[in-house]
Structure 1
Amino acid sequence: MLVNLKEILADAKEKKYAVGAFNCPNLESLRAILSAAEEMNAPVILNHAEIHDVLIPIEIIGPLMVEYAKKAKVPVCVNLDHGTSFEMCMKAVRLGFSSVMFDASGAPYEENVARTQEMVHICHAVNVSVEAELGHIFVSENGVGESPKKIETHENSDVSKMYTDPDMAKDFVERTGVDALAIAFGTAHGIYTVKPVLDLDRITAIKNKVDIPFVMHGGSGLTEEEFRGAIRNGIAKINYYTYMTIAGAKAVQERLSPKAAGDPVFFHDISLWATEAMKENVKEAIRIFSMR
């Protein structure tokens, strides 16, 4: 059942759990995510990250995501993740995506507000939800646009200046009308080189200023209790990808390693091994996020 982000997060916010948003840059991950969600009887968000267009264009994977979502037995939101341009977001809307995460967080504040206002105005007119980002979410070793060295200096630098400011968040939400806000409180995209320092009280401080669902980007590598702590403080959507795809690759490596040289290996078997492993990883993430 295809729903938009506002619908899928309303129940999560009310009942204090989080919905997992999983990237699916191929058919294997798409099938793994939806199979896991249906087995767990849990709502789920399918993400197409703009940076994954080099792996598979949105024109190819997007219609599959929408079609699978419509036929799913659980509520499914189809979301463009980190859409950085007006053109990319409109492409997602035209393909039937029910949500766009418009990311102008790298622009000056007033420009971020103005561009996000425009996106909200257009998307809401066609019942598409909008998520935006405020603050700086770090990118670690296998991320894009930021070096591992910068992440390694987390604990020795004043990173709090990069975290989302509660008063600014209130102003931003009131002026833009976004449906969800990705906030920065110490997490990082990709594989961590050192343990991140999370400011969970920052979530509460923002929540005291503005009452909409908050989003955690860069949650890979956190402990179960850190995830649950963030959810208790107000996180309602968690983006998750890195460790899911690692699980798929690891399963393939383990299945291939015992084979003798010359033994036949069929690509469809590799695909099935990876899909099953990713499904189990997603099921565990859903268990944690749903506070079960």
Structure 2
Amino acid sequence: MLVTLKEILDTANKEKYGVGAFNTPNLEAVKAVIEAAEEVNSPVILQHAEVHESLISIEEIGPVMLDYARRASVPVAVHLDHGATFEMCVKAIRQGFTSVMYDASSKSYEENLAETKEIVRIAHAAGVSVEAEIGHIFTSEVGSGEGGQADSSEDYEDLEDVYTDPKVAKEFVKATGIDCLAIAFGTVHGMYVKKPKLDLARITAIKEQIDVPFVMHGGSGVSEENYKIAIKNGICKINYFTYMSKAGGEAIKEYIANKSIDTPLFFDQLSVAAYAGMKADVKQAIQIFRG
């Protein structure tokens, strides 16, 4: 059933569990996420990232995501991830997405606040939830799918300059009226090439200031133990894509390896293998997030 992001996350925030948010730039990914969620009877979030417009446009994949969400036996929100422009956010709202993320985190605080506030005004008028971001989330050079320049915690002398400040977060949420907040505490978009330095206590410090659902970006590669601590401390939405996509690729690699060299390969068979690999990975992730 198609629902808003706010409906899903308000319940998760109250009951202290995490909900997986999976980018789905193809039909195989959409099917894998929905079927995995149905098998474990968990709400789930389908996402289209603006950066994936180079793979498939929102006009093409959006109707597919919405159709699967409406027919699902579990609550499903359809979300625009990392919307970088007003135009993209409005396009998602008009198409029927039930939530949008407006990401102006790379701009000045004043610009981020003013622009996010306007998106909230537009989205809420249409019954659509809004996510925004305060702080800086690192980007790996390997498989991030997020664009931008690769960096890590080692590139900054003072992490207070890039991690989410609890008092600033409180001010931002109050001024904008957003439904959930993506916070920076050391996670990385893409593949982890080094063990992450997570400031899990920062989540609690922010939670003491504001009681809105928090979002973890760069969720792939975090240990099961750290997921559980992060969720206990206030994380409700976990963005997860890189390792899911990798699981699909590894399933194809295994399928090919088990074929003799003179056996023909068919794309539909590779598609099924990728779907199965992603579904297994998504199912495991959802089970970890639910605790």
After TM superposition, the score normalised by the length of structure 1 is 0.97
Superposed, 1:31-42 pairs within 5 Å as 31-42=31-42
* 2:24/2:48 contact within 8 Å kept: yes
Q: Give runs of aligned pairs for residues 3-14 of structure 1, distance below 5 A.
A: 3-14=3-14
What residue is the counterpart of 1:214 in the other structure? 214
When structure 1 is superposed on structure 2, of 249-258 and 229-238 the one drifting more is: 249-258
The Cα of 1:262 is off from its aligned counterpart by: 2.3
Q: Is the 8 A contact 1:21 1:44 kept in 2?
A: yes
Query: CA separation in 1, counterparts of 2:259 and 2:38?
Result: 33
For 2:40 and 2:149, the matched residues in 1 are separated by 36
Structure 1 runs of 4+ aligned residues shifted over 4 Å read none
What is the identity, as a one-letter code, of the residue corresponding to 1:267? F
Residue 251 (structure 1) aligns with: 251
Q: Tell me how far 1:157 sits from its aligned partner.
A: 3.8
The answer to whether residue 266 in structure 2 is matched with residue 266 in structure 1 is: yes
Give the match for residue 123 of structure 2: 123
Q: SS where residue 47 of structure 1 aligns?
A: strand
SS across alignment from 1:153 = helix
Letter paired with 1:240: Y
What SS class does the counterpart of residue 45 from structure 2 fall into? strand
**2:69 matched to 1:66?**
no
Cα drift, residue 260 of structure 1: 2.3
Report the Cα offset of residue 192 of structure 1: 1.3
Task: Give aligned pairs, total.
Answer: 288
- What is the CA-CA distance between 1:152 and the residue it aligns to? 6.9
- Write the distance in 1 (CA, Å) between the matches of 2:152 and 2:208: 29
Q: State the identity %.
A: 58
The reply to whether residue 231 of structure 1 matches residue 234 of structure 2 is no
**Gapped regions of structure 2 (runs ≥ 5):** none
Contact 1:136 1:184 in 2 (8 A): yes
Aligned AA (2:275) = T
> In structure 2, what is the Cα distance between the partners aligned to 1:59 and 1:197?
38
Alignment check: 8 A CA contact 2:153 2:197 kept: no
2:107 aligns with 107
Contact 1:9 1:236 in 2 (8 A): yes
Q: C-alpha distance in 2, partners of 1:158/1:219? A: 23
Deviations 1:100-159 (A, max 9, x none): 011011111011110001000010011100000000001012332122xx32726x8422
| Cα distance in 2 between the residues matched to 1:259 and 1:157 | 51
**Letter of the 1:121 counterpart:** R
What is the distance in 1 between the residues matched to 2:63 and 2:258? 38
Distance in 2 separating the partners of 1:271 and 1:160: 44
- Please say if 1:54 is aligned against 2:57: no
Q: Aligned equivalents of 2:183 and 2:153: distance in 1?
A: 21
Residue type at the aligned position of 1:145: G
Alignment partners' CA distance in 2, 1:13 and 1:218? 20
**Is 1:44 the counterpart of 2:44 in the alignment?**
yes
Structure 1 pair 152–110 and aligned structure 2 pair: CA distance change class (3 A): closer
RMSD of equivalent CA atoms = 1.1
- Aligned partner of 1:164 in structure 2 is 164
Q: Deviations over 1:154-178 (max 9, x none)?
A: 6x84223200000100100000000
CA contact (8 A) 2:81 2:101 kept: yes
User: Equivalent residue for 1:146?
Assistant: 149
Q: 1:36 touches 1:282 (CA, 8 Å); kept in 2?
A: yes
Distance in 2, Cα, partners of 1:114 & 1:272: 45
**Structure 1 residue ranges without an equivalent (≥5):** none
